Chains A and B, each alone.
Chain A
Amino acid sequence: MSQSVADTAAPLEFYQLEDDGVVHDSGTLLGFWIYLMSDALLFATVFATFGVLSSSFAGGPGPRELFDLGLVAVNTSILLLSALTCGLAMISMQGGRLGATQLWLAVTALLGMAFVGIELHEFSEMIAEGATPQRSGYLSGFFTLVGTHGLHVTFGVIWIAVMLVQLRQRGLHQENRRRLLCLSMFWHFLDVIWIGVFTFVYLLGML
């Protein structure tokens, strides 16, 4: 095999291309993917708990009394839009456009903050009405599931903030590109989990 490398200049050119655009640190990306899959299993247990408790109202309020589907639709749109802006950040990164990458990441973080803000508003209104996690098994399951997802989004926003500092100080070098790829996987993963949340908690709860 070393012969084939020595014979032609093509492999050298290949390495040059690698440094320019695409990150080939497959170890980290695959490892991070395995982490995301284990995180999905964490969500599976929380979904299962919620599913088991989904009719344990203990005389307390149910989904129809608690939820405003319009607000959930707005929140879902915000998160979906943030997935697109995150993708635009990745495309900018690929093109080596630092300013555009930072801009789209900042927009993604703002949308993420809006999502968490609306969710906290929903929580505070529910708690003000007496629908606290202690009220019923259903509400315990609800706050655990939706809260765990919201916590993930919060940490995603913190991660974006850290990356914005990194980009400002160091630019789009190889390590930052790899970190951004992990960040985008994390963000898109959260959007996929949210599909499960809005379907099973909100939509099926209202039916």
Chain B
Amino acid sequence: MNTHQAAAPGHADADAHDRGGFTLRTYLTGFVLAAILTAVPFWIVMTGAIPGAGTARAVVIAFAIAQIIVQTVTFLHVNARAQGGWTLLAYVFTAVLLVITIAGSIWIMYHLNANMMPGMMGDPTVSPAP
């Protein structure tokens, strides 16, 4: 509370905008951008507009990341000022853990699978490679 008492009136306006100042404009912007960022990857996959599977994957993932950022900013109102920056800090920290968990698991298990092909597991029914 003390920090609020010490704050200048201008700070109160900024604070209101950070935490509770929802505007229709913000929400509509977020909604339209999210709709576009959803429609395009669905269109790409449903019509096969991008022939190469690898390229199509990369594009679809890029659209997903873009939409996550759009929704975080417009719907969840995350920015560097909200809650003195703690919201953003927790968000970034979570994103780092999320990437490590998901990418790390898939990477490790992929290599595990690749190294456990039949013939390398000491399976008695399969003769080992000479």
Contacts and interface: CB of A to CB of B under 8 A. Distances in A.
Interface stretch (A86-94, A110-118, A151-159): A86-94
A11 B12 CA distance: 10
Contact of B102 (A23, A47, A188, A206): A47
Nearest to B110: A52
Contact of A191 (B4, B45, B75, B91): B75
A80 to B, nearest CB: 6
A196 B5 contact: no
Contacts of B35: 77, 80
Contacts of B46: 69-70, 73
Contact of A51 (B34, B42, B60, B106): B106
A110 to B, nearest CB: 18
Kindly state the interface size class of chain B when it binds its partner.
35 or more
Contacts of A21: 16, 20
B87 A207 contact: no
Contacts of B45: 69, 203, 206-207
Interface in A50-70: 51-52, 69-70
A128 interface: no
A41 interface: yes
A41 B75 contact: no
Contacts of B22: 87, 90-91, 94
A49 B104 CA distance: 11
Interface in A165-198: 181, 185, 188-189, 191-192, 195-196, 198
A192 B64 contact: no
A94 B20 contact: yes
Contacts of A37: 90-91, 93-94
Contacts of B105: 48-49, 51-52
Interface of A is mostly: helix
Given A11-B5, A192-B76, A195-B67, A29 B102 contact: no
B27 A91 contact: yes
Contacts of A4: 5-6
Interface of A: 1, 4-5, 10-11, 14, 17, 21-24, 26, 29-30, 33-34, 37, 40-41, 44-45, 47-49, 51-52, 69-70, 73, 76-77, 80, 83-84, 87-88, 90-91, 94, 181, 185, 188-189, 191-192, 195-196, 198-200, 203-204, 206-207
Interface of B: 2, 4-6, 9, 12, 15-16, 19-24, 27-28, 30-31, 34-35, 38, 41-42, 45-46, 53, 56-57, 60-61, 63-64, 67-68, 71-72, 75-76, 83, 86-87, 90-91, 93-94, 97-98, 101-102, 104-106, 109
